[in-house]
């Protein structure tokens, strides 16, 4: 029987999700609908990009999924765009005053019905069949609670790189706590797929920090052990533009050092602090050489990580890669 579903709403009852479908204006029987994957999107001031992001998610095929979007108090036209898209595409949408990304992600997590979830930025593009391929990959690793994939960068006007970002290819075949802790590996937030209950059991996203991904990934890897990384599943076309780059480097790196303090008893704690301080210095040496010189006593160490980056202080920015 073919259905033309013009309106859907979900109601949680006894831990099951039910959907009432209306066919050509008349109500049908109540039918159970349980998404395998919940896509969680925190939207904030991305009026130029949010429609493409939403449509790329809603175009996914081959796996039952839901999209949940919270607009976190955008001051641009994002709310109007999302209201129009919700009426057309029938996803869950909430608009409310700004609470910050961590509070928003916890709210989204509380609304998720899928066995798995992935967060997705409102300025990126989800490649076709990403949800199907990654959920299959995670199902093939039943002892794991998360998996990660690859990304390709994308220009502001939507031109996608031909190659996967080599930074994240280094994670294959798995990523371990120690690697992320000492900044030897990096994980991209839009490359994740995670067992929903695993994150809920850890208390969700840590509200002691203003960013959401690194605290969660360290907690997952510390509690559950190494997690697999696919070498060929492209999870995200990551749009590189001015407003999604970190501008407050001091705040970001001080938060990271505060995060490391949660693992002070770890044998690699002192080394991890030196490695992250080396990255902090490298960022300053690229963006503000005077400030990098002023911070030298605070950030310097005799580690190879720092000594390798020290020459950036004396090389003009136009000859450097960030």
Mean pLDDT of the chain: 89
Take residue 307 and report the two structure tokens written for it.
């000594």
Architecture of the 34-244 domain = Alpha-Beta Complex (3.90)
Closest CA to 216 of 182, 262, 281, 159: 262
Q: What is the pLDDT of residues 141-159, one digit of tens each?
A: 999 999 999 999 999 999 9
pLDDT of 6 strictly over 70: no
Q: What is the pTM of this model?
A: 0.87
11: pLDDT confidence band, cut at 50, 70 and 90?
Answer: very low
61 by Cβ neighbours in 10 Å (0-12 / 13-18 / 19+) ranks as: exposed
pLDDT at 248: 82
pLDDT at 169: 87
pLDDT at 170: 86
Q: What is the pLDDT of residues 248-276, one digit of tens each?
A: 888 999 999 999 999 999 999 999 999 99
Phi-psi region of 90 (alpha: psi -120 to 50; beta: other; left: phi over 0): left
pLDDT at 244: 54
Q: What is the pLDDT of residues 18-53, one digit of tens each?
A: 332 222 333 333 446 789 999 999 999 999 999 999
Kindly list the domain boundaries of the chain, sorted by start residue.
1-33, 34-244, 261-319
Residue labelled with tokens 């005799």: 302
pLDDT at 15: 30
Query: Distance between CA atoms of 39 and 57, rounded to whole angstroms?
Result: 8
215 by Cβ neighbours in 10 Å (0-12 / 13-18 / 19+) ranks as: buried
Q: What is the pLDDT of residues 176-218, one digit of tens each?
A: 999 999 999 999 999 999 999 999 999 999 999 999 999 999 9
Cis before 173 (ω within 30): yes
pLDDT at 241: 85
């Amino acid at each position: 029987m073919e259905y033309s579903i013009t309106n859907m709403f979900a109601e949680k009852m006894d831990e099951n999700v039910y959907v009432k479908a209306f066919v050509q204006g008349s109500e049908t029987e109540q039918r159970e609908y349980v998404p395998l994957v919940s896509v969680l999107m925190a939207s904030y001031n991305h009026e130029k990009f949010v429609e493409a992001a939403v449509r790329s998610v809603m175009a996914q095929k081959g796996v039952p999924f839901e999209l949940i979007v919270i607009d976190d108090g955008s001051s641009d036209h994002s709310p109007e765009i999302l209201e129009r898209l919700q009426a057309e595409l029938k996803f869950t949408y909430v608009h409310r005053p700004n609470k910050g990304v961590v509070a928003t992600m916890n709210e989204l997590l509380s609304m998720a019905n899928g066995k798995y979830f992935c967060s997705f930025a409102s300025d990126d593009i989800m490649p076709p069949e990403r949800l199907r391929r990654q959920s299959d990959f995670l199902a093939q690793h039943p002892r794991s609670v998360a998996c990660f994939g690859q990304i390709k960068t994308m220009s502001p006007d939507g031109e996608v790189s031909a190659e996967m970002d080599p930074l994240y290819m280094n994670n294959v075949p798995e990523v371990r706590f120690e690697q992320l802790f000492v900044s030897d590996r990096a994980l991209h937030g839009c490359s994740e797929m995670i067992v929903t209950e695993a994150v809920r059991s850890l208390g969700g996203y840590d509200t002691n920090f203003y960013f959401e991904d690194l605290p969660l990934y360290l907690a997952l890897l510390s509690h559950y052990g190494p997690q697999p990384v696919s070498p060929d599943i492209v999870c995200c076309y990551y749009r590189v533009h001015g407003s999604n780059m970190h501008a407050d480097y001091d705040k970001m790196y001080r938060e990271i050092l505060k995060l490391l303090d949660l693992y002070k008893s770890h044998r690699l704690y002192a080394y991890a602090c030196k490695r992250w301080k080396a990255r902090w210095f490298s960022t300053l040496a690229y963006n503000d050489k005077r400030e990098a010189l002023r911070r030298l006593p605070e950030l310097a160490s005799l580690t190879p990580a720092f000594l390798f980056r020290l020459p950036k202080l004396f090389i003009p920015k136009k000859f450097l890669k960030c």
